[in-house]
A and B are shown apart, each in its own frame.
Chain A
Amino acid sequence: DAKTTQPTSMDCAEGRAANLPCNHSTISGNEYVYWYRQIHSQGPQYIIHGLKNNETNEMASLIITEDRKSSTLILPHATLRDTAVYYCIAGYSTLTFGKGTMLLVSP
């Protein structure tokens, strides 16, 4: 899996959009960009993934740059329940978890 780099922590006000960046400059052509989140003491939750096109589902949007070297996860209207560690992973079927971004959503 390609190495990813994410900010250690981010803050977001409730109701605002949370934009979480991820750098994956060494991603290979067959690797997808996956996003998971982990709420304290729970198993990771799948959010979204994509190859090169932007993706949207009921949870979030994923914007991947044209060169695929970076991506942004967008939570359009963050709630307190979105407080979690967010992991960006570049891989295929196996996942290598980094340290992720601790997103704190405040009232």
Chain B
Amino acid sequence: GAVVSQHPSRVICKSGTSVKIECRSLDFQATTMFWYRQFPKQSLMLMATSNEGSKATYEQGVEKDKFLINHASLTLSTLTVTSAHPEDSSFYICSVLLAGAFRAKNIQYFGAGTRLSVL
């Protein structure tokens, strides 16, 4: 499998501040990464698809100006929650797509997640 590092694992911030979360692919170059959000006792919800060198594709209902995604290199994608508010408190998880020459090799590997608490 692939090793995905996500940092920080936990962050507490004041309302109105911005928070940056990093997602790194440690052992292969990832053209595509994904960002998910998970509220307590709910399943993961895809927020956006991040492609290296191009703008991210956001899912319906996700504010692109609030959740800034940058995928400037093949090993790093960042998610910045701008002007965070208590309702943004959630578990944010990234994944990298290991895409092989054949579709049989398309597998997403996930980071450990970042728990954001906005006071």
Contacts from A to B (Cβ < 8 Å): 30, 32, 34, 36, 38, 41-46, 49, 51, 87, 92-100
Q: Apart from A34-B107, A93-B108, what are 19 other A-B pairs with CB-CB below 8 Å?
A: A32-B106, A42-B112, A43-B93, A43-B110, A43-B113, A44-B44, A44-B110, A45-B110, A46-B1, A46-B107, A46-B108, A46-B110, A87-B43, A92-B106, A94-B46, A95-B34, A95-B108, A97-B44, A100-B43
Instruction: Count residues of chain B with CB under 8 A from any CB of chain A.
Output: 27
Interchain CB contact under 8 A, B113 and A41: yes
Contacts from B to A (Cβ < 8 Å): 1, 4, 6, 32, 34, 36, 43-46, 49, 91, 93, 95, 97, 99, 103-104, 106-113, 115
Interchain CB contact under 8 A, B104 and A51: yes
- Taking a contact as CB atoms closer than 8 A, the residue among A41, A95, A99 that contacts B46 in the complex is A95
Answer whether A46 and B49 are a contact pair too, CB < 8 Å, given A32-B103, A51-B104, A93-B32.
no
Interchain CB contact under 8 A, A30 and B103: yes
User: Interface on chain A toward B: helix, strand, loop, or mixed SS?
Assistant: loop
Interchain CB contact under 8 A, A43 and B111: yes
Answer whether A42 and B46 are a contact pair too, CB < 8 Å, given A93-B99, A95-B108.
no
Closest Cβ–Cβ distance, residue B28 to chain A (whole Å): 14
Q: How far is the CA of A43 from the CA of B93 in the complex (A)?
A: 6
Please give me the 9 A-B residue pairs with the lowest Cβ-Cβ distance, nearest first: A43-B110, A97-B44, A97-B43, A43-B113, A44-B110, A93-B106, A43-B93, A43-B112, A43-B111
